[in-house]
Structure 1
Amino acid sequence: MEKMNQAFEKMKMLVGVEVDDEASTATINDDNSSWFMDDFNRNCTLSTKQSMLVFFNPIKFGIAFTLGNMLSLGSTAFLVGPKRQVTMMLDPVRIYATAIYLASMIFALFCALYVHNKLLTLLALILEFGALIWYSLSYIPFARTMVSRVMVACLDTEF
């Protein structure tokens, strides 16, 4: 526990929070550690306008979200190699998920950059997010089957 307290003190000093000499030699009580977490949480919050960027400006968010998805595909290609990435994406198990995911990214960019319709861009983003989830589940064995069964069970109206 003492080492953890010393680590908190060093972290506070690195971040720039002033530490009095008395607190650095003594152990951190719950008030100080909760103060640090409260301060950390207060600095890491978004305003209401920032968190609702999707609804206020879906075109700007759509471009950023789609480019982020393209970067994530590029980063996995960097990690496993481009040839292996394309081979995995074109695997018969996930070829349809890959096609829908890539098509949804193209559609979202088309709606955001060419059409400039906020509602259509928002719908394209919802489609892209769903395609991203389905594509990601294709890498986990039996995940799509499990999700499909859970959704059918949840949406089943017969008693």
Structure 2
Amino acid sequence: MEKMNEAIEKMKILAGIEVEDAATSNYENEGSRSFAFLDDFDATCTLSAKQRLHGFAICLVAGLTCTLLSMLVFFNPIKFGITFTFGNLLALGSTAFLIGPKRQVTMMLDPVRIYATAIYIASMIVALFCALYVRNKLLTLLAITLEFGGLIWYCLSYIPFARSMVSKLMTACFDTEF
């Protein structure tokens, strides 16, 4: 019975559900208070595995729907920029349902992908700024192109050696020296 409880606790940790001992140790350790808000949020948010999967599916489908619907208004870059970026935000937020918001932020700020995260989030902000305030179609399309590139680079950061492989492939394809 004890081994089964240990296995269940390991599965909870892998699913992003805080185990009681780990949750209380977070509050006792004053040195690791950098994610205090997320600790409180994780402690109060007790979703079952089924609810987490439903939240993930709903958020992901809504994000993909917004992204696909943005293609309908492609020739209006302002509307395209808003719906495309909103779809990306929903799809990015969907993974927080699976692994929890604290672990999501921790993984995004991991030294391996901190630059990819910064580029991706900055490109979303620039795209929304160009679409909502500047209202320049050319700048909005340029920002959306940057956002799409940031999305690809961010997604590649989760696959081991993918970014170095793509970099070498791009260098080989576009190298002009003979």
Matched, 1:154 2:173: yes
Cα deviation for residue 53 of structure 1 reads: 3.0
| Percent of pairs with identical residues | 80
Could you say what secondary structure the match of 1:61 adopts? helix
**Pairs aligned (count):** 109
1:5 counterpart residue number: none
2:116 counterpart residue number: 97
| Structure 2 residue identity aligned to 1:124 | A
What do you get for the CA RMSD once the two structures are aligned? 1.4
Deviations along 1:115-138, one digit per CA (max 9) or x if unpaired, are 111111000000000000000000
Cα deviation for residue 158 of structure 1 reads: 2.3
Alignment of 1:25-36 (within 5 A): none
Q: Distance in 1 between matches of 2:132 and 2:73?
A: 17
Q: Distance in 2 between matches of 1:78 and 1:63?
A: 23
Deviations along 1:65-117, one digit per CA (max 9) or x if unpaired, are 00001001110111111011000000000000000100000010000011111
2:107 counterpart residue number: 88
Cα deviation for residue 52 of structure 1 reads: 6.4
| Structure 2 residue identity aligned to 1:53 | V
1:76 counterpart residue number: 95
Q: 1:140 aligns with which of 159, 162, 176?
A: 159
2:50 counterpart residue number: none
Q: 1:84 to 1:104 in 2, by over 3 A?
A: same
Q: Distance in 2 between matches of 1:85 and 1:61?
A: 27
Q: 2:73 aligns with which of 48, 53, 75?
A: 53
Mark the runs of 5 or more structure 1 residues left unpaired by the alignment.
1-49
| Structure 2 residue identity aligned to 1:112 | A
Q: Distance in 2 between matches of 1:51 and 1:98?
A: 24
Are the counterparts in 1 of residues 71 and 80 from structure 2 also a CA contact under 8 Å?
no
Q: Distance in 2 between matches of 1:51 and 1:126?
A: 13
Q: Where do 4+ consecutive residues of structure 1 move more than 2 Å?
A: 50-53
1:15 counterpart residue number: none
Are the counterparts in 1 of residues 123 and 147 from structure 2 also a CA contact under 8 Å?
yes
Mark the runs of 5 or more structure 2 residues left unpaired by the alignment.
1-69
Q: 1:91 to 1:51 in 2, by over 3 A?
A: closer
Q: 1:117 aligns with which of 125, 136, 145?
A: 136
| Structure 2 residue identity aligned to 1:78 | F
2:59 counterpart residue number: none
